[in-house]
Amino acid sequence: MQWIALVAGWSVAAIFAAWVLVFANGTPAEPLVSQPGDFVKVLLNALTIAGLYFIVASGFTLIFGLMRVVNLAHGSFFLLGGYIALEFQKLMVGKSRNILGDDVGVFDWVIPLLLAAMIAGILGLIMQQVFLRWFQGQDMRETMITIAISVILADMMVSWFGGIGVDIQWPGLIDRAITVSGVRYSVSRLFMLGVAIVVGVALWAWLQKTRTGMVIRAGVDDTSMVQALGINVQLVFALAFFVGSALAGMGGVMGGSFAGLAAGVDGQWLLNSIIVVIVGGLGSLKGALAGSLLLGVVTAFAPSYLPAGFTNYSIIFTFVLLGAVLAWRPYGLFGTPE
Amino acid sequence: MTAADNNASRPRGRVVTFERALLVFAVALLLVLPAFTSDFFVSFVLTQGLLLGIAAASLIFLAAYGGMVSLAQTLLFGVSGFVIGNAVTTGGSKGLNLGLDPWLGVALGVGITTVLAFFLGAVASRSTGLYFLMITLTFGVIGFYFFGQVTTFSGFGGINQVRAPDFVGTPGQFPERLYFLALAVSVIVYVVLRYIARTPFGLSLQGIRDDHVRMSSMGYNVWVHRTLAFTLAGFVASLAGVLFIWWNRQIDPASIGMGEILALLIIAVIGGINRLEGAWVGAIVFVMVNNYVRDVPGLNQIGLTEARFNTIIGLIFLIIVLLSPDGFIGIGQRVVRLLTPRAWHTSQAPGSDSGSGPSVTAGSRSDSGSGSAETTGNK
């Protein structure tokens, strides 16, 4: 069975490559041989959006890996983080509307980012301590509680921040485009990728090189054994929930600068996180990376390399990715069966 | 676990009789209610409640008997509506505008939805518990974006002016006709699903819910059972979709968006996710809150106006999940037990009133394989 899947996987990859390379005439991007610049742009789009997927999904997967809680309020913390950062940015810039790139210094973006991540983390921690702690082990009930909180938060955010879409302004320094050998590309998107790499490396170093990280990894494998060794596992859970929610809030600030904030964005980013972790395997940071890259490639390439009249069908390819991975590995690429 | 499988095995004592009497009374009440209430109440509370109840019943059937909490039921409900919309409209809106006969539209809607449910079920049924929940959630949300983006079938504007067959008429004109149809479908769905739970298929499905590893080693094909159960639930959801499109006359992607997906789960949980009856109880409560929250004194003063309906329903949902995971049905059962003499309880199998929330942990139980059937039997 394994070799069939391998052959199928490589054939799909080969067909995809041949299509992008030579045959994609009549698509918005045109084939690689005739329009290499467009290909580079689409590839960069894939990588940069994958970076954002990774930041958000790594928080989701961290919480699940350690505590078996599917935090369906993750998207709400994303959106709330974005809105909070916007409020801080307005305060710091001193304008409540029409904020332009020139008004925003680097700190007018970074400080709101850190504050929003912090507040989202604290809210996640409160949710875990007040509601979830008492139902540890009842994973479906914990999930229902996070759903209830996401419904309430979504409605409250409409009430506080309105239903109209708003943007967080990038700092003027990076809110521009650069041109390298004929390819024009947005600096802020490259910056987003840079932040994702920094976050990824920091998470990896934290989990692999520190004592806390060691405890968390041990907790993922066997919580009761960690507890038996005299480690305060509740503290570790609280920390994981704080970091996981803070990552959602941080993602929200970047997503809000990149694509804007509006009612419904929370569900969209919850969906992105879920697809990433289902494809990559729940609870695995490696899986979150693989899932983000795959989803990034699909969401960037499908609209650009489908024939012009059919680009609105690109959502189907997300489903195809999900179905193909699940048919081959029901617990994701790096996941293990319960 | 709990009441669902007790029904199949427990001796028919007085409590069962009481429950049956209550059911018959409820149906009788629903039959005569239109005579005493306004057209608005019949259409917007009762009809909407019944059709949402049918959709929620498909969710509860999977959760209570199969241990699968599916969030794809709203999608299947919507696909049925979209197919009918595409099939019967003759122009004036997006979609294929095929202009077919309404009954042919129903056949297509139900048929296509059931086939789709089979394939979605085949993919999702290899997973269990929270994985299943998340996978079906992605199905639902991808479906929302699909109908939003693919203007061939709908687009975000949706499909308007969908005709119902002449004998149903328009809800504005004959609200009772659609209401009695919804009531009839509800009763049939309830009876058939209860019957299926007692067939060998239903019993092995419940066995798989309790311990799929054991059932698998005894030679049952777990995946096939789950897939077929999902297909059946998809069929039931498609019936609700038919009633919805006849009732609402239009459907757009917002009808199956994230909010609606969660609303169906909320209906199932506040009603009681381990009993089929909970579907209709939850749905009626849901639409009552939706329609009458503005009349509740005091709520406006603390900022919970009608526009904050989702906050109110979210709070109700949160309280139910925290305090009574078997929903209003569970609260009702506890009240009945408090009010009746102890001697009557002997015929009721133990375990059905455990406060630990067996229903909402359904997914985890089926994973861990702790076998709630054993627990019930041993007590």
CB spacing of B124 vs A338 below 8 angstroms? no
The mean-pLDDT minimum among A131-145, B126-140, B265-279, B350-364 falls in: B350-364
Helical H runs in A19-135? 36-67, 74-93, 107-127
Read off the pLDDT of each residue in A4-14 and give the average, rounded to a whole number. Answer: 82
B297 or B268: which leads in pLDDT: B268
Residues of B in contact with A315 (CB under 8 A): 142, 145-146, 149-150
Q: Which residue has the higher pLDDT, A290 or B296?
A: A290
State pLDDT tens for residues A269-287: 999 999 999 999 888 889 9
pLDDT at residue B7 is higher than 70: no
Name the nearest CA neighbour of B121 among B64, B164, B45, B58: B58
CB count in 10 Å sphere of residue A309: 8
What burial class does residue A102 get, using C-beta atoms within 10 Å of its C-beta: 0-12 exposed, 13-18 middle, 19+ buried? Answer: exposed
What single-letter DSSP state applies at residue A176? S
Are the CB atoms for B213 and B82 separated by under 8 Å?
no
Please give the helix or strand (H or E) that residue A178 lies within, else none. Answer: strand A177-180
Selected for mutation to probe chain B from A60, A150, A151 (highest B CB count within 10 Å) is A151
A262-266, B10-14, B316-320, B357-361 — which is least confidently predicted? B357-361
Element (DSSP H or E) covering residue A186: strand A183-186
pLDDT at B344: 61
Mapping DSSP to helix (H, G, I), strand (E, B) and coil, where does residue B10 land?
A: coil
Of A190 and A28, more confident: A190
Judged by CB atoms closer than 8 Å, whether chains meet at A147 and B149 is answered as no
CB B237 within 8 A of CB B77: yes
Interface size between A and B, measured as CB pairs under 8 A? 136
Percentage of residues in chain B having pLDDT higher than 70: 84
Q: pLDDT grade, residue B185 (50/70/90)?
A: very high
Range with the poorest average pLDDT among A152-161, B3-12, B270-279: B3-12
Residue in A131, A138, A148 nearest the CB of B314: A148
- pLDDT classification of A253: cutoffs 50, 70, 90: very high
Contact map slice: B 233-272 vs A, CB within 8 A: 257-259, 262, 265-266, 269
Distance (Å, whole) CA A269 – CA A248: 9
What percentage of residues in chain A have a pLDDT greater than 70? 99
What would the mean pLDDT of A105-120 be, rounded to a whole number? 94
Coil, helix or strand at residue A179: strand
Task: Say how many Å lie between the first and final Cα of chain A, rounded.
Answer: 22
pLDDT of B367 higher than 50 = no
Give all strands (DSSP E) within chain B, no chain letters.
none
Q: Looking at this protein, which amino acid is placed at residue A31?
A: P
Using a CB-CB cut-off of 8 Å, the residues of chain A touching B309 are: 155
Contact B241, B77 (CB under 8 A): yes
Lowest mean pLDDT segment, chosen from B78-92, B222-236, B237-251: B78-92
Query: Mean pLDDT across chain B, nearest whole number?
Result: 84
- What domains can be seen in chain B, in order of their start residue? 2-378 (1.10.3470)
Average pLDDT over residues A152-175: 90
Res B352: pLDDT:
42
Q: What is the ipTM of this complex?
A: 0.89
Q: How far is CA B43 from CA B27, B81, B248, B281, in A?
A: 17, 18, 10, 17
User: Which residues of chain A make contact with B310, given a CB cutoff of 8 A?
Assistant: 151-152, 154-155
Write down the pLDDT at residue B315.
Answer: 93
What share of residues in chain A are helix, strand, coil (percent, to 5)? 75, 5, 20
Q: How far apart are CA B117 and CA B130, in angstroms?
A: 19
Q: How far is CA A34 from CA A22, A38, B179, in A?
A: 8, 9, 62
The minimal CB distance from A140 to the residues B137, B314, B362 is found for: B362
What pLDDT was estimated at residue A338? 60
Query: Can you spell out the DSSP letters for B201-215?
Result: HHHHHHHHHH-HHHH
For B51-70, what is the mean pLDDT? 96
Q: What is the largest CA-CA distance in chain B?
A: 65
- The residue among B51, B229, B215, B198 whose CA lies nearest residue B132 is B229
Percentages of chain B per state (helix, strand, coil), in multiples of 5: 75, 0, 25
CA-based nearest residue in chain B for residue A137: B364
Question: How far, in Å, CA of B343 to CA of B79, rounded?
Answer: 50
Are A17 and A161 contacting, i.e. CB atoms less than 8 angstroms apart?
A: no
Q: Judge whether residue B346 has pLDDT over 60.
A: no
Instruction: Please give the pLDDT value at position A163.
Output: 82
**Does B2 have pLDDT greater than 60?**
no
Whether B355 contacts chain A with CB within 8 A: no
Structure tokens at A100: 């332009």
Which residues are within 8 A (CB) of A229 and not within 5 positions of it... i.e. 6 or more apart?
Answer: none
Pick from B128, B131, B308: which is nearest to A159 by CB?
A: B308
Q: How many CB atoms lie within 10 A of CB A64?
A: 23
Confidence of residue A143 (pLDDT cuts 50, 70, 90): very high
Give the pLDDT score at A99.
84
Instruction: Give the torsion through C-alpha atoms of B41, B47, B52, B54, to 10 deg.
Output: 140
- For residues B323 and B318, what is the distance between their CA atoms, to the nearest angstrom? 9
**Is the distance from CB of A57 to CB of A291 less than 8 angstroms?**
yes
Give whichever of B6-20, B148-162, B317-331 has the largest mean pLDDT: B317-331
Residue B159, SS3 per DSSP: strand
What pLDDT is attached to residue A103? Answer: 83
Please state, as a whole number, how many other Cβ atoms lie within 10 Å of the Cβ of residue A136: 17
pLDDT of B324 higher than 70: yes
User: What would the two tokens of residue B103 be?
Assistant: 């009954």
With an 8 Å Cβ cutoff, are B131 and A271 in contact? no
Averaging pLDDT over each range in A168-172, A243-247, A326-330, which range is the top one? A243-247
Encode pLDDT of A35-66 as tens digits. 888 888 899 999 999 999 999 999 999 998 88
Least confident window among A88-102, A223-237, B111-125, B365-379: B365-379
Query: Is B193 a residue whose pLDDT tops 90?
Result: yes
Domains of chain A: 39-328 (1.10.3470)
Alpha-carbon gap: B145 to the closest alpha carbon of chain A (Å): 7
- For residue A313, the distance in angstroms to the closest alpha carbon of chain B comes to 6
B233 neighbors B205 (Cβ within 8 angstroms): no
* B15: confidence class by pLDDT, cuts 50, 70, 90: low
Residue of B nearest to A151 (CA): B314
pLDDT value at residue A182:
80
How many C-beta atoms lie closer than 10 Å to residue B5's C-beta?
25
As a whole number of Å, the CA-based R_g of chain B is: 21
Q: Is residue A245 pLDDT above 60, yes or no?
A: yes
**pLDDT band, residue A2 (cuts 50/70/90):** low
**Angle at alpha carbon of residue A161, lines to A158 and A163, rounded to 5°:** 50
A5 pLDDT more than 90 = no
pLDDT at A306: 85
Instruction: Report how far residue A20's alpha carbon sits from residue A17's, in angstroms, rounded to the nearest whole number.
Output: 5
Q: What is the dihedral sign for C-alpha B165, B157, B54, B307?
A: negative
Beta partners for residue A261, in sequence order = A166
Q: What is the pLDDT of residue B16?
A: 61
The pLDDT value recorded for residue B348 is 47
B302: contact with A, CB 8 A cutoff: no
| Tokens read off for B315 | 């709070």
- In 3D space, the residue among A326, A222, A232, A218 whose CA is nearest the CA of residue A281 turns out to be A326
Helix, strand, or coil here: B230?
Answer: helix
Buried b (16+ CB within 10 A) or exposed e, B49-77: bbbbbbbbbbbbbbbbbbbbbbbbbbbbb
The CA distance from B117 to B119, in Å, is 5
Task: Please state, in angstroms and rounded to a whole number, the distance separating the CA atoms of residues B133 and A70.
Answer: 10
